[in-house]
Structure 1
Amino acid sequence: MEQQEIRYRKGDTIELIITDHAEKDKCFGKTAEGMGVMVSGILAPGDRVSAQVYKVKQRYLEARAIEVLEASPDRVEPVCPVFGSCGGCKWMHVSYEAQLRYKYKKVTDSLAHIGGFENPEVLPVLAAPDALHYRNKVEFSCSNMRYLLQAEIDSDALAKPKSFALGFHAPGNFEKVLDLDTCYLAKECMNTVLNVVRDFALERGLAPYAAKAHEGYLRNLALRYSERYDQLMVNIVTSWHDAALMQALKERLEAALPEQRMTIVNNVTTRRNTVATGEQEYVISGEGYVTERLGDLDFRISANSFFQTNTRQAETLYDQIIAVGGITPEDTVYDLYCGTGTITLYLARHCKQAIGIEVVESAVRDAQMNAELNGLSNTVFFQADLKNFHAMQEALAPYAKPRIIVTDPPRAGMHPKALDTMLKLQPERIVYVSCNPDNLARDGKEIAARGYRMSSAQPVDMFPQTNHIETVACFERVE
């Protein structure tokens, strides 16, 4: 007798086993009958869950998890009491060993399924030495709309003022902010500053920024920490400058952290956004920047400079670029999307000449300053649009052709025209540094089609407790 096909409807409650992670913070699973389901919720592969169907597609269902009936062996108790409400961490509910497995699988699957690489040579993920408190940069937002936790809503008792919050935006909500006492990815001194600034603001009645009305004084609190030199930068972003108020806050911060080397700046912005940068900057105390060390190089980091957020793993990442690239003292190396020059300068110690190319003019100036700071004379930085091959060719004419090109594009990957420009330069090796395995696979497929083979892919975990993974992939030209 032929088995009757099961028909699913919107609103049905189903039971399934979670088998894998999917895109946009969802997981994938299958019902006992073999129907694929995309499930939203805080889940892990191996969980047996009940879920409610909210969309029926021809080949799969979309559902929301209701209850975990049987927990995955990968699960652990999150250390953060607001995990799940805060969008900063996605995987704090699973062990770090499991996180590394998931990330390895993501890189391998992307290269195989999107890139078409058969049995890609993916090396074991290089784990971070610190799974918590590893971030050297944290940006907190201030809002007049505090995101209420479910426990508060259920009890109808407010633990904190409803009209003030300093913390992170709730997932998918750009108006409301989850008020935090502690971020478990931030350095301990950063959490001290967070609480001092909140207490000070509440005591003084400082108006938090209201995004809709474009009103309010306190907008953001952006913190940077130098691991090697134990320096802390406190950047208070406000709608206007109040010198007396900043002086009072400075004294409060110095009293709370008497042994901490600290610089305090006040960025002022009138823009209609919630970005932690300003049109004007006032240095309240200290030098107005911190200095960080990678390898034997110093980098000056101002409030709005880009710098890798995990200092210790940044060194690991850059060492891998040198290792997989096989860089020698006779090489000329190009660094595409060089930003403020951290990779270029790191490479310069190992090659004859390192040339950094960047489209943002201010980043090029920072890169040149960092080269001078470290006394490096074998680096060149210039502003150019990688999408314009002829302009690039003209700018690069005075320099030797590169044996190796390093490319570290933004999360979206390389623009097709920029990719074409790179391939027309015909280096022997391309070292592709990626923070998005899908786009690495997409661009890698085109690189392979143009006469290169992928010799290795080395994942580096820069961001424990999250689903992000960096990969250093090496492509060698096939003669």
Structure 2
Amino acid sequence: MHCSYFAAAQCRSCTLMGQPYAEQLAGKQRHADLALGRPEGLQWLPPVASPESGFRNKAKLVVGGDAHEPTLGILDADGRGVDLRLCGLYTPGLRAAFPVLAEFVARAAIAPYSVPQRTGELKYLLVTESPDGELMLRLVLRSQESVARIRKHLPWLRSALPRLAVVSVNLHPEHKATVEGEREIVLTEQQTLRMRLGGVDLHLRPQSFFQTNTGVAAALYRQAAAWVAEKSPASVWDLYCGVGGFALHVAEPEREVVGIETSVEAVASARLSAEEAGLGRVTFEAGDATAFALAAERVPDLVVVNPPRRGLGEDLSRWLEESSARHVVYSSCHAGSLARDLALMPSLRPRQAQVLDMFPQTAHYEVLTLLERA
């Protein structure tokens, strides 16, 4: 894949840009194999490849420039906006929306936030596209100063982008290196973006997390569901469940499934999906995964874990090691933290694993591992 932004040194986020894709994928497989220490008895399934371009379903666009000619992309070293709206990683649907969103910013006269001067209002545009082509737009603002103008011009925006389903404002008043604040104001009647994957409808609320590569995410859930079906557990926990992707994909009429997630927004989304699907034995609770496990009176037959980059940590890893759970399906976005956790769970042996290339053109990837108690 060729990228003019990378070639011109305007953006170097894609550290593997220019490397043949087959080499990228083989390198990730080697890295995962070495990181896990090549344990005896581990079978690697063929890695899941991604399209080299057009795969990102979510755009996190820093807004720069001025209200008349905003830039959508990143900031340079001096805090000036660098426009990246033609970035080839985004889906065609997202790329088609960017010029309309830039015009909307100008129409509503929303001043981009200046990091060096700490003035202005609009920090980010966060745009997500569903598998059906619907869009969710979030405007991250410093204050409510421009909300009335956004509401005024919203009918024009929805006319220009007919697939725009959800629009919200996120208030982030602090000057911090974080993307969003705590308060969200939804401006549309529809409050969730429907993400249809493998026959399962997931609902995405504005502050919920979802994988950025829809096709590879579908493959991730399919493989996890296949392993769970093979082991046929009567009960499953999905820890760090997000909007319920794993839990809903492994649900069966006679199987008890419990999902745990700290985000109240994500739990509300997961509950809505379970209710719509008529899954009465699938429940979701808001809480800390480690605290939930340590306080539980019963242990499930199988545990699915999908922790953040830092991994499970010592407490939850040791709980899993000492528990009676027969199997663990571990989805990891960092092979190093996965290896550290595995070292704390010696009786849970890796039997099968698969690299899934969620992030082409970068060194990042997902690795899914089936653990079985020795």
Give the SS at the match of 1:348.
Answer: coil
Aligned to 2:30: 105
Aligned to 1:157: none
Structure 1: distance between partners of 2:36 and 2:108: 54
TM-score by length of 1: 0.69
Letter of the structure 2 residue corresponding to residue 101 of structure 1: A
Alignment of 1:475 onto 2:374: no
Letter of the structure 2 residue corresponding to residue 468 of structure 1: H
Give the SS at the match of 2:115.
Answer: coil
Whether the 8 Å CA contact 1:192–1:256 is kept in 2: the answer is no
Aligned to 2:311: 413
Shift of 1:188: 2.1
Give the SS at the match of 1:414.
Answer: coil
Give the SS at the match of 2:74.
Answer: strand
Q: Deviations 1:186-209 (Å, cap 9, x if unpaired)?
A: 122322332233345457764210
Shift of 1:183: 2.0
Shift of 1:325: 4.0
Whether the 8 Å CA contact 2:225–2:250 is kept in 1: the answer is yes
Change (3 A) 1:248 1:276: farther
Aligned to 1:277: 180
Change (3 A) 1:359 1:420: farther
Give the SS at the match of 1:81.
Answer: helix
Find the partner of 1:141 among 49, 62, 66: 62
Letter of the structure 2 residue corresponding to residue 417 of structure 1: D
Aligned to 1:89: 14
Aligned to 1:392: 293
Find the partner of 1:461 among 340, 348, 357: 357
Whether the 8 Å CA contact 1:165–1:177 is kept in 2: the answer is yes
Structure 2: distance between partners of 1:174 and 1:319: 44
Whether the 8 Å CA contact 2:64–2:114 is kept in 1: the answer is yes
Larger relative contact order, structure 1 or 2 (CA cutoff 8 Å, min sep 6):
2
Aligned to 2:269: 366
Structure 1: distance between partners of 2:126 and 2:83: 15
Shift of 1:283: 4.1
Aligned-pair identity in percent equals: 29
Change (3 A) 1:358 1:283: closer
Change (3 A) 1:121 1:175: farther
Find the partner of 2:91 among 187, 203, 211: 187
Structure 2: distance between partners of 1:328 and 1:454: 15
Whether the 8 Å CA contact 1:327–1:351 is kept in 2: the answer is no
Find the partner of 1:226 among 102, 116, 130: 130
Letter of the structure 1 residue corresponding to residue 92 of structure 2: E
1:311-330 aligned at under 5 Å gives the runs 311-327=214-230, 329-330=232-233
Letter of the structure 1 residue corresponding to residue 214 of structure 2: T
1:58-137 aligned at under 5 Å gives the runs 78-82=2-6, 84-112=9-37, 117=39, 120-128=42-50, 130-137=51-58
Aligned to 2:194: 291
Aligned to 1:439: 337
Change (3 A) 1:182 1:274: farther
Whether the 8 Å CA contact 1:219–1:274 is kept in 2: the answer is no
Which consecutive unaligned segments of at least 5 residues does structure 2 have?
none
Q: Deviations 1:39-90 (Å, cap 9, x if unpaired)?
A: xxxxxxxxxxxxxxxxxxxxxxxxxxxxxxxxxxxxxx61443455324422
Give the SS at the match of 1:316.
Answer: helix
Which consecutive unaligned segments of at least 5 residues does structure 1 have?
1-76, 146-159
TM-score by length of 2: 0.87
Whether the 8 Å CA contact 1:78–1:92 is kept in 2: the answer is yes
Give the SS at the match of 1:167.
Answer: strand
Q: Computing the radius of gyration over CA atoms, which structure comes out larger, 1 or 2?
A: 1
Letter of the structure 1 residue corresponding to residue 257 of structure 2: A
Instruction: Name whichever structure is richer in helix by fraction.
Output: 2
Further displaced range: 339-348 or 276-285? 276-285
Change (3 A) 1:348 1:203: closer
Structure 2: distance between partners of 1:244 and 1:387: 42
Q: Deviations 1:159-214 (Å, cap 9, x if unpaired)?
A: x98xx5321245xx594442223121112232233223334545776421023443
Shift of 1:247: 4.6
Structure 2: distance between partners of 1:439 and 1:106: 13
Whether the 8 Å CA contact 1:104–1:124 is kept in 2: the answer is no
Letter of the structure 1 residue corresponding to residue 331 of structure 2: V
Q: Deviations 1:388-415 (Å, cap 9, x if unpaired)?
A: 4xx6354x32x5x322111111111111
Change (3 A) 1:169 1:349: farther
Change (3 A) 1:262 1:475: closer
Further displaced range: 289-298 or 83-92? 83-92
Alignment of 1:263 onto 2:166: yes
Give the SS at the match of 2:359.
Answer: coil
Shift of 1:136: 1.5
Structure 1: distance between partners of 2:78 and 2:249: 37
1:226-245 aligned at under 5 Å gives the runs 226-227=130-131, 229-239=132-142, 240-242=144-146, 245=149
Whether the 8 Å CA contact 1:386–1:421 is kept in 2: the answer is no
Change (3 A) 1:180 1:437: same
Structure 2: distance between partners of 1:427 and 1:254: 49
Shift of 1:435: 0.7
Change (3 A) 1:104 1:328: closer
Aligned to 1:166: 72
Give the SS at the match of 1:314.
Answer: helix
Shift of 1:96: 1.6
CA RMSD of the aligned region, Å? Answer: 2.9
Q: Deviations 1:314-362 (Å, cap 9, x if unpaired)?
A: 1110111122345455521111211222211111138611111234444
Letter of the structure 1 residue corresponding to residue 141 of structure 2: T
